[in-house]
A and B are shown apart, each in its own frame.
Chain A
Amino acid sequence: MTDTTLPYSAHGDPHHLRGLYDSALGHEGPAPKRIVTGFGFWIFLLSDIVMFSCFFASYAVLLRQTAGGPSGSQVFDLRSVAAETAFLLLSSFTCGLASIAADLRNARWYQAAMAATAVLGLCFLALEAREFSGLVARGAGPTRSAFLSAFFTLVGCHGLHVSAGILWLLTMMAQVLAKGFRADILRRLLCFALFWHALDIIWVAIFSVVYLVGSGT
């Protein structure tokens, strides 16, 4: 046991309780790649949530600034929103199945679960697009009032994240198809799953803050 591996170094004091010192206070050195990647991605997600929180804050500030236009209770269709929620939460479940399949290195189940996730995500996006185009057609587009600007931006930003997530999902399916469950692809898969589940968390906040609180106005 040497006390340092630098070329200058000397042999450690033999009476020193090195083992105890190392286990109690020591630091084992750089973390493995999987931990580093996952940790970095978590930090990215936190920063993304900070960005969303700005849009949430602006929605809260502008909620009553309808400028004579429609208010939340007049534009929100909670039944459609409930269906969107169901699609998104289910897609998180299938995404979880895909992670399990990847852990078991089962390519067929992995592809099936990822495909189901993509389909559910697309269903969510379709409903959102229907909601948005309906509002614009009724003259309740984002340019109508500050309230609607904030609404379209917050919900639309989440929708953009889901769209980007689906593009990412498709490349993940292709990567596994072409290269199999390589270590670096599994790390990316971990990041993708984190991303997809984070979108769910944000959606839960949107559902409560935007739609439930908003339809009380």
Chain B
Amino acid sequence: MLGKLSWAAIPLDQPIPLTVGALVLVAILAVLAWIVIAGHLPYLWREWITSVDHKRIGVMYILLASVMLLRGGSDAIMMRAQQAIAYHSQGYLPPEHYNQIFSAHGTIMIFFVAMPFVIGLMNLVVPLQLGVRDVAFPTLNSVGFWLTATGSLLVNISLVIGEFARTGWLAFPPLSELSYSPGVGVDYYAWSLEISGIGTLVAGINLVTTVLKLRTRGMTYLRMPMFCWTTLASNLLIIAAFPILTATLAMLLLDRYLGFHFFTNEAGGNVMMFMNLIWAWGHPEVYILVLPAFGVFSEVVSTFSSKPLFGYRSMVLATMAICIISFMVWLHHFFTMGAGPYVNAIFGIASMIIAVPTGVKIYNWLFTMYGGRVRFATPMMWAVGFMVTFIIGGLTGVLLAVPPADFLLHNSLFLVAHFHNVVIGGTLFGAFAGYTYWFPKAFGFRLDERLGKVAFWFTLIGFYVTFIPLYSAGVLGMTRRMQHYDVAEWRPWMIAAGIGMVLMSVGVIFQILQLVVSIRHRAELRDVTGDPWDGRSLEWATSSPPPVFNFAVMPNVTGEDAYWTIKSKARRQNLEVREPDYRDIEMPRNSPTGFVCAFFATVMGFALIWHIWWMVILGLVGAFATFVVFAWRDHDEYVIPANEVARIDRANLAERRAATNFAESPA
């Protein structure tokens, strides 16, 4: 009746996950109870869960990423603590639990923190920057988000029902095959990634179509803000790479569920085929994560230097070059496979070449700052911190791209330090920069600057104290994923890394504090101008938060830095403000399709993991029924009448004008 599921699936012998799980469950139930009792449920359902507004969906993506960052961060704290303790001892985590933690940490941080964070930022900002009212497929957008949420829900369920994979974040066979991993851990891993992978693909299709087909009048390709370009590149990579992940995990699942022989040791299976396929996805994936961050930094650096981005066209070219070369370097993840000197040399050289366009970008940012009036607001701090940190990570990456060096450093902590150096220094700093930069746009008030800077310094210093020691330990020969060790030379570095972890955690606490304090003081921090940073692109041309239709009248773009041009022209000519010609606006109607889809996907995923076949069929039928009901709807749009548009826009403009006059009029 319930497949493999029984009471034995609850890990009663492991107090840590059980206690944490129970606490989280109580917290969730308490929040749900409060929502229901306080009567917020209809609001939540109407305005958020069924919303197809790209801004709302973007915010929900970022919220999901932030919550999962806490989960993945807890895993990191546990691992650092274990390695600081486990010299000549077993530490406090048994091996089977430790193995689940490092697998969950990697899986969560890549798929459920970094991905939703950057997709959230792109969702929130790109339509605004393009001067349009929504993304190309609003309902699908909601489906994509909720499927991502399903994936992370399944990963979290594995904490208390069953177990998670003990195979590392990419589940290499033959360890991940049924004969060596008979439990449900790998199934949790694979199904949650299959489901969230579909969500990511949907987001990718949606954003590429949005950038290529929905731009406002005059927004030619070479007038798009840099963030739109990196969004385009990143989502093109999603479209070309995520199907590979889907296919590869499908093959692994067929091996596990139906006894196929893709990656088994027996009957002709080929383990190295898995390595090639997974890294053919995996390497583009790191650029999927970092390109949007490059976009954020381009926006931030040019805004806070009060200058147009230096070398805009070379930046576009560098972005697209990375987009293509990222597909030609996958083999550097396993030089030790023994493909031979020629193959290794080619991939080594390709890996070094990809550092060239990245270097171009770094110089462009530096030259943008050069001669500019640089304001060191929090987003700009993250950007400068990024430039320094990312260069170090990039250089150690070039070291690893030399095959002979890689043979020594492969799977060592040097590698771990390298990729944390680029993922934290690149993507996470970019995500935080984007978060503080666009927060006022999303919510209408700024984040507290002082606490933001404190959080930045703790994170930055904590990062170096954590990961520079890992480079050293790696060079001393310490391999990754060790539950305990007996080498005295490694110990001090592990303790140092543990201290660094504490500093980074303090950074996270300040980040949370910043949010809480800013919400409490939102009246003082309110942004009535819609343009708190003296921005250059169109998202700052509308109010903060923008009305549901973004722009009362679609802007007409006449050059790069569209909003800057408009502002300076308005200032220079000091012209009377004309009343625009308001028209009726058609907007997509809210739809529960995404939420319902995700509900059935969760049921189906859980049933597949536990081999509850009737429930799988139920989920499939439900999903098909949702599809038919969605196809059957008669009205997918509603109209906001012109006078309503005019009312909202006039109120916003009056508020903004009052604020600007107050700020700009000489005493």
Contact = CB atoms under 8 A, between A and B. Distances in A.
Interface string B614-639: 00000000001001100110101000
A47 B270 contact: no
25 contacts: A5-B580, A6-B566, A7-B579, A8-B566, A8-B577, A9-B566, A9-B569, A10-B575, A29-B217, A30-B132, A31-B214, A47-B204, A48-B243, A50-B240, A50-B244, A51-B246, A54-B244, A54-B247, A61-B273, A62-B269, A65-B261, A146-B269, A149-B254, A153-B254, A179-B634
B458 interface: no
Contact of A62 (B136, B270, B573, B649): B270
Given A30-B215, A146-B261, A178-B632, 19 more contacts: A4-B566, A5-B555, A6-B541, A28-B217, A30-B216, A31-B213, A35-B213, A36-B136, A47-B204, A51-B243, A55-B247, A65-B269, A67-B266, A143-B258, A147-B268, A150-B262, A152-B260, A167-B624, A184-B636
B273 A47 contact: no
Given A8-B566, A8-B567, A58-B262, A153 B251 contact: yes
B218 A5 contact: no
A5 B206 contact: no
B220 interface: yes
B631 A58 contact: no
Interface in A20-64: 22, 25-31, 35-36, 39-40, 43-44, 46-48, 50-51, 54-55, 57-58, 61-62
A142 interface: yes
A215 interface: no
A158 interface: no
B251 A58 contact: yes
A40 to B, nearest CB: 4
A217 interface: no
Interface residues of A, number: 55
B513 interface: no
Interface residues of B, number: 71
B262 A149 contact: yes
B205 A40 contact: yes
B493 to A, nearest CB: 40
B553 A30 contact: no
Decide if the interface of chain A is mainly helix, strand, loop or mixed.
helix
A3 interface: yes
B551 to A, nearest CB: 8
Contacts, number: 173
B636 to A, nearest CB: 7
Contacts of B212: 39
A117 interface: no
Interface string B251-263: 1001100111110
Interface in A136-155: 142-147, 149-150, 152-153
A66 interface: yes
Interface string A147-177: 1011011000000000000010001000100
Given A30-B216, A51-B247, A142-B260, A61 B206 contact: no
Most buried by A among B201, B209, B240, B649: B209
B396 to A, nearest CB: 31
Interface string B198-227: 000100111011001111111110000000
A50 B254 CA distance: 19
A7 B262 contact: no
A36 B555 CA distance: 20
Interface in B168-208: 201, 204-206, 208
B267 A145 contact: yes
Nearest to A61: B273
Given A6-B553, A39-B213, A58 B277 contact: yes
A197 interface: no
B110 interface: no
B234 to A, nearest CB: 14
B495 interface: no
Nearest to B538: A6
B330 to A, nearest CB: 13
B658 to A, nearest CB: 14
A9 B277 CA distance: 53
Given A4-B556, A39-B209, A153 B260 contact: yes
Contacts of A57: 277
A146 B554 CA distance: 57
A144 B269 CA distance: 11
A3 B578 contact: no
Nearest to A49: B243
Nearest to A57: B277
Contacts of B248: 54
Contacts of A7: 552-553, 577-580, 649, 653
Contacts of B509: none
Contact of B219 (A6, A27, A61): A27
B73 to A, nearest CB: 32
B352 interface: no
B161 interface: no
Most buried by A among B217, B250, B624: B217
Contacts of A54: 243-244, 247-248, 277
B173 to A, nearest CB: 12
A57 B196 CA distance: 24
Nearest to B264: A146
B239 interface: yes
B570 interface: yes
Contacts of B273: 58, 61-62
Interface string B543-565: 00000000011111110000000
Most buried by A among B220, B243, B251, B557: B243
4 tightest A-B CB contacts, nearest first:
A65-B268, A146-B268, A54-B247, A51-B243
B137 interface: yes
B555 A6 contact: yes
A47 B254 contact: no
A116 to B, nearest CB: 22
B242 interface: yes
B581 interface: yes
Contacts of B136: 36, 40
A22 B628 CA distance: 43
A1 B575 CA distance: 17
Contacts of A178: 632
A129 B556 CA distance: 57
Given A9-B569, A26-B217, A58-B251, A3 B556 contact: yes
Contacts of A6: 541, 553, 555-556, 566, 580
A13 to B, nearest CB: 10
A47 B205 contact: yes
Contacts of B270: 61-62, 65, 146
A44 B239 CA distance: 8
